[in-house]
C-alpha cells in the first residue's frame, strides 16, 4: 500500500480530539430553542475579550465582515483611502472595496512579509483615513512602527488578526494595539468554529456599541435603525458554543504549532530555504511558510514524496482580475511580488505527530538535494 500524503492541515483530527465536548455544546444549543445572538454568544464575547485583555468583543458572521464593519464604524467609505498589504489573500481588499473605499497597497518587509512602516509613510495622502495591518501566517506585524506612522497622521489602525489568535508581544495581545482588532473563526484558523464566524475587539465602548448596531441593520434597539451602514452579520449560538469549548485550548495548540515550527527551522537551518523568525510568542505559526525561488518544482517533488504543501498566496491583490477591473493596473511592489512567487506552506497543525514532522523533514531535505541550484 502506498503511504498517505501528509496534509497541510487536518480538520478531522482536530475535531476528533474534542468530539465529545463539541457534541455536548451542540446538544445544549439545540435544546435551548435560541439560535442566533443569545447567551452562548454573549458568554463567548465576554470570554474572548477577557482572553485578549480587551474591554469589548463584538462577534459577527465572518472575518471579512469584521474588517468591513471596522471601516464602517469609523465612517470610512467613498472618497477615502485605506492602506493595506497585497500579499494576504484579498481579505482586507475585499472589505475595503465593500465599504466603498479605495485600497492603497503598501509593500511588505523582506523578513516578516508584513507591512513596511517606511513604505506606509510614503503612500499616505490627504485622503487616507485608516490602515489595516495584517498579522500574516501567525506573525505579528511591526505595530510599533505602523502605529508611529499612523498616529502622526491621525489614521485609524485596524489589526487583521485572522491568522494570529493568541499572538502577543511584550505581553500585549494582537488585536489590542490599534483601535480595533478583527478576527475570523473560519474552521482552519488557530481558533476556528465549525462554520463561519468572526469578531472585533476594542477598548472603546462607544465603538463597540455602534458595532453591535451595525451588525444588525443599524438597530439601536429592536426595529429602530439609527446607525447608517448597518447590515446583517451575526454569530450563531452553535458556533459560539463550539468556540467556548475551544478557547481554553488555544494557547496549548499555539505552543504545539510553535514547537513543530522550531523543529522544522532547526532541521532546515543549513539548507537554501528562507525561514521565518520564531523568536517569541509574537508568532503563533498559523501557517509554516518557507521561501525559495524554485517553489513550483519544489512542490511537485514534495507531492511525489507524499508531503502536502500549499501557496499562501499566489497572486498579489492588485493583480487579481476583479481588482484590476475596478482599480486599473498597479506598479508591482518588489517584496510583495517576490513573496508571491516564492512562498510555500508545509504541514503544521497541532495534531501533527512527531513522526510526521520527521517524515516532512526527510522529504524536504531529499527534495532540496534534487533541485537545481
Ligand X SMILES: *Cc1c(COP(=O)(O)O)cnc(C)c1O
The residues of the shown chain that bind ligand X, judged by CB under 6 A, are 62-64, 88-89, 91, 134, 160, 162-163, 184, 186, 196, 198
Contact 360, 344 (CB under 8 A): no
Q: How far apart are CA 264 and CA 280, in angstroms?
A: 16
- CB closer to ligand X out of 140 and 364: 140
Residue nearest to ligand X (CB): 63
Q: How far apart are CA 285 and CA 16, in angstroms?
A: 22
- CB closer to ligand X out of 134 and 202: 134
- CB closer to ligand X out of 164 and 207: 164
Shortest reach from residue 334's CB to ligand X, in Å: 21
Shortest reach from residue 359's CB to ligand X, in Å: 27
The 3-state DSSP class for residue 198 equals strand
Distances in Å between the Cα of 82 and the Cα atoms of 9, 10, 63, 74, 291 are: 33, 35, 17, 12, 28
- CB closer to ligand X out of 201 and 367: 201
Contact 106, 119 (CB under 8 A): yes
Q: Which H or E run includes 162?
A: none
With a CB cutoff of 8 Å and minimum separation 6, the contacts of 260 are: 285, 288, 348, 352, 357
- CB closer to ligand X out of 176 and 190: 190
Strands (E), 204-306: 219-221, 224-225, 288-291
- CB closer to ligand X out of 246 and 305: 246
Cell reading at 189: 484558523
Shortest reach from residue 242's CB to ligand X, in Å: 15
Shortest reach from residue 190's CB to ligand X, in Å: 10
Gyration radius (Cα) of the chain, Å = 21
Shortest reach from residue 313's CB to ligand X, in Å: 9
Cell reading at 272: 537554501
- CB closer to ligand X out of 158 and 305: 158
- CB closer to ligand X out of 168 and 357: 168
Shortest reach from residue 151's CB to ligand X, in Å: 23
Shortest reach from residue 196's CB to ligand X, in Å: 6
Strands (E), 36-106: 56-60, 81-85, 102-106
Shortest reach from residue 54's CB to ligand X, in Å: 18
Amino acid at each position: 500500500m502506498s503511504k498517505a500524503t501528509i496534509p497541510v492541515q487536518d480538520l478531522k483530527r482536530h475535531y476528533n480530539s474534542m468530539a465529545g465536548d463539541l457534541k455536548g455544546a451542540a446538544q445544549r444549543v439545540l435544546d435551548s430553542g435560541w439560535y442566533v445572538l443569545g447567551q452562548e454568544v454573549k458568554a463567548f464575547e465576554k470570554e474572548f475579550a477577557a482572553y485578549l485583555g480587551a474591554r469589548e468583543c463584538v462577534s459577527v458572521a465572518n472575518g471579512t465582515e469584521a474588517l468591513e464593519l471596522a471601516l464602517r464604524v469609523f465612517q470610512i467609505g467613498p472618497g477615502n483611502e485605506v492602506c493595506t498589504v497585497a500579499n494576504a489573500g484579498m481579505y482586507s481588499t475585499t472589505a475595503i472595496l465593500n465599504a466603498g473605499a479605495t485600497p492603497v497597497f503598501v509593500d511588505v518587509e523582506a523578513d516578516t512579509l508584513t507591512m513596511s512602516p517606511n513604505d506606509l509613510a510614503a503612500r499616505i495622502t490627504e485622503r487616507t483615513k485608516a490602515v489595516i495591518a495584517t498579522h500574516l501566517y501567525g506573525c505579528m506585524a511591526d505595530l510599533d512602527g505602523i502605529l508611529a506612522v499612523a498616529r502622526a497622521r491621525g489614521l485609524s489602525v485596524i489589526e487583521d488578526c485572522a491568522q494570529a489568535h493568541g499572538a502577543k508581544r511584550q505581553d500585549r495581545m494582537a488585536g489590542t494595539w490599534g483601535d480595533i482588532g478583527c478576527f475570523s473563526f473560519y474552521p482552519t484558523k488557530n481558533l476556528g468554529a465549525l462554520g463561519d464566524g468572526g469578531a472585533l475587539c476594542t477598548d472603546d465602548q462607544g465603538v463597540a456599541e455602534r458595532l453591535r448596531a451595525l451588525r444588525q441593520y443599524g438597530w439601536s434597539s429592536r426595529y429602530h435603525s439609527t446607525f447608517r451602514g448597518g447590515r446583517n452579520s451575526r454569530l450563531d449560538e452553535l458556533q459560539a458554543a463550539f468556540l467556548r469549548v475551544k478557547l481554553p485550548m488555544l494557547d496549548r495548540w499555539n505552543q504545539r504549532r510553535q514547537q513543530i515550527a522550531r523543529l522544522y527551522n532547526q532541521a532546515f537551518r543549513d539548507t537554501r530555504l528562507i525561514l521565518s523568525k520564531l523568536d517569541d510568542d509574537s508568532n503563533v505559526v498559523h501557517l509554516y511558510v518557507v521561501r525559495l525561488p524554485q517553489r513550483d518544482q519544489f512542490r511537485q517533488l514534495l507531492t511525489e514524496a507524499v508531503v502536502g504543501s500549499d501557496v499562501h498566496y499566489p497572486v498579489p491583490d492588485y493583480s487579481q482580475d476583479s481588482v484590476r477591473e475596478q482599480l486599473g493596473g498597479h506598479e508591482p511592489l518588489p517584496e510583495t511580488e517576490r513573496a508571491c512567487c516564492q512562498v510555500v506552506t508545509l504541514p503544521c497543525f497541532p495534531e501533527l505527530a512527531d513522526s510526521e514532522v520527521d517524515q516532512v523533514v526527510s522529504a524536504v531535505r531529499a527534495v532540496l538535494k534534487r533541485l537545481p541550484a
